Amino acid sequence: MYQFNRKTAKGINLMLLELTVQTKGKGRHVGHAAADLDKIIEASGLYHQAKNKGTVLEGSWDELMAVAKKCHDAVLKSHRKIVTVMRALDGPDVDLCRQAPGDCAAMKELLEDDGDWMIM
């Protein structure tokens, strides 16, 4: 089986990030916020897949955090209260999804809540 090299041309490891920005309270319609997020994510150029609870993106830590911040800030402009939830999957054994998006084990693992948490 072909394993995609997790490093970019610049030698930076790639990882997965599940990103969800939820609106709370009054503000512009939620559909407007979702459309704004879709535009930001598309413009990032990162590989991504929309899922029920958010979007899973593939990229370096810095790329993913930059997109998450843009999404968070964009929704905060039109809503007084939001919740941004991020879950990252990283490590040498993580297979990325762009090579087999229909059957991505790493994405399934990320979206599955196994109850293992490290709290610092």
Residue 110 CA to residue 62 CA, distance in Å, equals 19
The stretch 18-41 carries a mean pLDDT of 78
- pLDDT, tens only, 48-73: 988 877 898 999 999 999 999 999 99
Specify the CATH class of 15-101 in words.
Answer: alpha beta
Prediction pTM value: 0.74
- What phi, psi does 113 have (nearest 5°)? -90, 105
Q: Quick: pLDDT tens for 2-28.
A: 334 455 445 568 888 999 998 887 655
Domain ranges of the chain: 15-101
User: E-assigned strands of the chain?
Assistant: 15-27, 47-51, 54-59, 79-89
CA dihedral 99, 100, 105, 110 (to 10 degrees): 70
